[in-house]
Amino acid sequence: MARLEKRAAELDREVSRLVKAIRTVDAAELTEELQIVRAERDRVRAELDQAGKLADPVDLDAEAQRLADTALDLGERLTDSDPAIVREVLRQLVARIICRWERRQGGRGTGSARAKYQLVEGKVELHQQNPGSCLWGTALSS
Owning domain of residue 43 = 2-54
* Chain segment 108-134, per-residue pLDDT in tens: 555 566 778 888 998 988 877 554 444
Of 142 and 132, the structure prediction assigns the larger pLDDT to: 132
Q: Comparing C-alpha atoms, which of 93, 62, 57, 64 is closest to residue 77? A: 93
Per DSSP, the residues of 107-123 read: PTTS-----EEEEEEEE
Same domain, yes or no, for 29 and 67? no
Nearest Cα neighbor of 74 from 137, 4, 3 is 137
Beta-carbon contacts of residue 112 (< 8 Å; ≥ 6 apart): 106
Pair 40, 83 in one domain = no
The pLDDT-based confidence of 26 (bands split at 50, 70, 90) is: low
Q: Tens of pLDDT along 53-92?
A: 665 566 777 777 887 887 787 777 777 777 887 788 778 7
Residues 22, 70, single domain; the answer is: no
109-116: long-range contacts at Cβ-Cβ below 8 A with a sequence spacing of 24 or more?
none
- The letter for the amino acid at 2 is A
**Quick one: what percent of the chain has pLDDT higher than 70?**
79
Quote the number of domains for the chain. 2
